């Protein structure tokens, strides 16, 4: 608590629905509130689903952009 953690990275490139969401959920469970998770996916479905997942569970989707066919997300864990 209080200390600033380095963001944790998660690579789900090449994996399709629903595996990226399952891996995000698992990764978030290991983090503290307000910790940051950086996720990379290639599944176009994840763009919509990550937004819904974060909204449903109260996580903050800080950034969300595409770069060279890779979708990149920065998720801040809910408090």
17 is catalytic: yes
Q: Does 21 bind other proteins (CB under 8 A)?
A: yes
| Residue 53 is a binding residue for other proteins (CB under 8 A) | yes
d(CA 77, CA 50): 13
- H or E element in which residue 48 lies: helix 45-57
Q: How far apart are CA 76 and CA 58, in angstroms?
A: 9
The one catalytic residue among 16, 17, 65, 70: 17
Min separation Cβ 67 and other proteins, Å: 19
15 binds other proteins (CB under 8 A): yes
Residues forming the active site: 17
């Amino acid at each position: 608590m209080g200390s600033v953690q380095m963001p944790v990275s998660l690579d789900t490139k090449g994996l399709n629905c629903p595996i990226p969401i399952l891996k995000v959920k698992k990764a978030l469970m290991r983090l503290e509130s307000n910790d940051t998770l950086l996720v990379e996916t290639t599944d176009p479905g994840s763009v919509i689903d990550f937004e819904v997942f974060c909204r449903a569970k109260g996580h903050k989707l800080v950034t969300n952009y595409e770069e060279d066919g890779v979708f990149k997300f920065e998720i801040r864990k809910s408090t």
